[in-house]
Amino acid sequence: MTDQPKTGDTKSEARADTKSEARADPKLLEILVCPVTKASLTYDAAAQELISKAARLAYPIRGGIPIMLPDEARQLSDDEMKA
């Protein structure tokens, strides 16, 4: 028996690491538009979001997959709209 502490399910930890490191395909990002306004989107790599200033929404990217559902999008604040 070893004296190493248990850290949990290593398979779950590996999946979590993979999801956080996944990046969206740049070619896909070029063709996506806002589903509400059909306006172009801006990619925010740091936040992993696609920004629609026309709709004042930020669509999340999870595991490298853009979630283009208005109900899943975050409302942009006035400060974010100025940036």
Output the tens digit of pLDDT for each of the chain's 83 residues: 555 545 554 444 444 444 445 788 889 999 999 999 999 999 999 999 999 999 999 999 999 999 999 999 999 999 999 87
Please provide the CATH number assigned to the domain covering 48-83. Answer: 2.20.25.10
pLDDT (0 to 100) of residue 1:
52
Q: Rounded to whole angstroms, how far apart are CA atoms 74 and 48?
A: 12
Question: What was the pLDDT predicted at 11?
Answer: 44
Contact 45, 32 (CB under 8 A): no
Looking at residue 47, what is its pLDDT?
A: 96
Burial class (CB in 10 A: 0-12, 13-18, 19+), 51: buried
**H-type alpha helices, 2-45:** 10-21, 26-31
Name the DSSP class of 75: E
